[in-house]
Amino acid sequence: MYKFFEEYDEKVTEELTGNFKNIITQLGENPTREGITDTPERAAKAMQFLMQGYDCNPEEILRKAMFKESYSEMVVVKDIELYSLCEHHMLPFFGKAHIAYIPNGYIVGLSKLPRIVDVFSRRMQVQERLTDDILECINKTIKPLGVAVVIEAQHMCMMMRGVQKQNSVTTTSGFRGQFEKIETRNEFLKLITSDLK
């Protein structure tokens, strides 16, 4: 599912390397300067890594690890770290995702939830769509009684440049099924804000 170092597409890497050489030159650096001669290729591979989410099928990831179970209480996986690229500036935004679902006959392998967070994060994104992508993927695939996703993130495009605000955190959320009821939603929000580690 994931690309590894040796699996980078040679042609894409070569073309991206050329593009990064041009970018470096246009920005006033000398791409042949000792110390950065390999940088265009490193950048080419880094960007392919950060954008590998287009080649993956997140629904398949969940489907492969669905297990029939009668457990029907809330399952919460919180503090899932994420790194994505904002589609406006291609600068990182990063933070945490919190996911909950209430099974409806099937549970899903726990690790698969962070895996789908990675798949959707490793694309050009806005935080709102990232939140919805994760929510809809879980809803469609395991058809739970309810699903909730909260993402808290900081955007480098608001920190390093532009408005230059270092401490603002953006929170987005989505709720389906039983999480549309205020008590269920509150139970989830209480669980993700608890200090239990």
Ligand X SMILES: Nc1nc2c(ncn2[C@@H]2O[C@H](COP(=O)(O)OP(=O)(O)OP(=O)(O)O)[C@@H](O)[C@H]2O)c(=O)[nH]1
Site string for ligand X, 58-97 (x = CB under 6 A): ----------------------------x-x---------
Q: Catalytic site residues?
A: 86-89, 127, 155, 157
Output 86 or 107, the one with its CB closest to ligand X.
Answer: 86
Q: Is 86 in the site for Zn ion (CB under 5 A)?
A: yes
Q: Are 138 and 100 in contact (CB under 8 A)?
A: no
Q: Is 137 annotated as a binding residue?
A: no
- Near ligand X by CB under 6 A, which window of 9-17, 103-111, 133-141, 157-165? 157-165
Q: Is 131 in the site for ligand X (CB under 6 A)?
A: no
Q: Is 158 in the site for ligand X (CB under 6 A)?
A: yes
Q: Is 157 in the site for ligand X (CB under 6 A)?
A: yes
Q: Are 121 and 130 in contact (CB under 8 A)?
A: yes
Q: Is 157 in the site for Zn ion (CB under 5 A)?
A: yes
Where on the chain is the footprint of ligand X (CB under 6 A)? 86, 88, 126-128, 155, 157-158, 162-163
